[in-house]
Structure 1
Amino acid sequence: MSKHRIAVIAGDGIGQEVMPEGLRVLEAAATRFNIDLQFDHFDFSSCDYFER
């Protein structure tokens, strides 16, 4: 089984409250279909950029 790395940048194009639910769906699908996912979280979204 290959590992799929996914960059997670909450608040970049969608609301920050949406990302946890999206990750929950991806984890459920990965379990169901035996897919190995690795999430790499980054704290630099466009909303963070404009606040600085």
Structure 2
Amino acid sequence: MKNTFILGIEGTAWNLSAAIVTETEIIAEVTETYKHSRGIHPGKQPSIMQSTQPAL
């Protein structure tokens, strides 16, 4: 039987999460919270998350 792998990525204005799963198990799951002293503009969130969370 062939395994199906699923990559899930979710980003919000304050959090970034990623997971790799199969139909029966969670292989990896990571969550990082954006640490910023002020709020950010929602339109700038993707580029800010990419520059501040390179591990994901």
Structure ranking higher in helix proportion: 1
Counting strand residues as a fraction of each chain, which structure ranks higher? 2
| Greater Rg by CA | 2
What is the TM-score when the length of structure 2 is the normalising length? 0.27
Q: Which has the higher contact order (CA 8 A, sep 6+)?
A: 1
